[in-house]
Structures are given as structure tokens and as C-alpha cells.
């Protein structure tokens, strides 16, 4: 081979190598674009999930505060009603009340308690119930509203 043929052969080899490198670079660029797109998509998903997490966390905090407030109110009401029951038992039942008698009374009667603010008293309306008729706020409450 003379010098010219050798150079042509080297040139063809270099062109072939250049085509290979160019193809590899194209594939590499495509993979980089795909990775960049995947990163952007994952960042969007992460941002959406963070927003959702923050929203749920705020709702949970609000729910916990509400639950705590309701529990405190219920505890206060329970304590107040326990005090009223203690007063009623000590003043009107002589200091002791049979729970068996109280439960039996609850089974036999429907009742409605209403507050009369002009007299500063509670008024109780009761009605004896028949079998399978017992409902809180049932006919005793209706009778009280009609009378």
C-alpha cells in the first residue's frame, strides 16, 4: 500500500469510529434526556405528595385540637352532672341511691328534662313505657311539647 491508500484506509477507519462515537453520544444524550424527564416527573410527584402531606397534617392537627376541646368540654359537663347528681342524692334520697332501682326506673320510664329559666328550675316530664316502646326523646318528649 502506498501512502495515499493507507491514509484513505485510516480516514475510513476514523470515520467509522466517529460514526460509532456519534451513535453512542446520541444514545447517551437520549438517556440523559429521559433521566432529566424522569427527574422532573418525580419532582412534580414529590411536590404534589408534599402538598398533600401538609394538607393532611393540618387537617389532623385541627382534628386533634377539636377532639381535645370536645373531650375537655365533655369532662367539664360530666363533672357538672356528677355534682348535680350528688346534690340530688344527698338532698332528696338521704345520701344513697340504689343503682338497681335507678336502672329499673330507666327501663320503666321515658323522660324529658327541660330548663325553665324564668323559675330557675328543671322540669321533668315522665311517661311509663310499654314493652318495646322505649326510646330516648320519644312520646314523653312529644307529650311535653303538646302540653
Per-chain mean pLDDT for the chain: 87
Q: What is the largest CA-CA distance in the chain?
A: 132
Distance CA 124, CA 115 (A): 9
Distance CA 103, CA 80 (A): 21
Q: Which pLDDT band, with edges at 50, 70 and 90, does 143 fall under?
A: low
Q: How many residues does the chain have?
A: 147
Q: Which of 12-21, 64-73, 108-117, 136-145 has the lowest mean pLDDT?
A: 136-145
Q: Which pLDDT band, with edges at 50, 70 and 90, does 146 fall under?
A: very low
Question: For the segment 9-57, what is each residue's pLDDT rounded down to a tens digit?
Answer: 999 999 999 999 999 999 999 999 999 999 999 999 999 999 999 999 9
Distance CA 130, CA 108 (A): 8
What whole-number percentage of the chain has pLDDT above 90?
54
List strand residue ranges (DSSP E) for the chain, in order.
Answer: 109-116, 121-128
Amino acid at each position: 500500500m502506498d501512502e495515499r491508500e493507507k491514509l484513505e484506509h485510516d480516514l475510513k477507519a476514523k470515520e467509522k469510529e466517529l460514526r460509532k462515537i456519534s451513535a453512542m453520544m446520541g444514545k447517551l444524550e437520549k438517556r440523559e434526556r429521559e433521566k432529566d424527564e424522569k427527574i422532573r416527573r418525580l419532582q412534580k410527584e414529590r411536590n404534589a405528595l408534599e402538598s398533600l402531606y401538609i394538607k393532611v397534617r393540618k387537617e389532623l392537627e385541627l382534628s386533634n385540637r377539636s377532639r381535645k376541646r370536645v373531650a375537655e368540654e365533655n369532662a367539664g359537663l360530666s363533672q357538672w352532672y356528677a355534682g348535680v347528681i350528688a346534690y340530688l342524692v344527698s338532698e332528696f334520697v338521704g345520701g344513697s341511691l340504689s343503682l338497681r332501682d335507678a336502672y329499673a326506673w330507666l327501663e320503666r320510664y321515658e323522660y324529658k328534662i327541660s330548663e325553665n329559666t324564668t323559675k330557675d328550675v328543671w322540669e321533668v316530664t315522665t311517661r311509663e313505657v310499654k314493652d318495646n316502646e322505649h326510646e330516648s326523646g320519644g312520646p314523653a318528649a312529644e307529650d311535653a311539647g303538646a302540653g
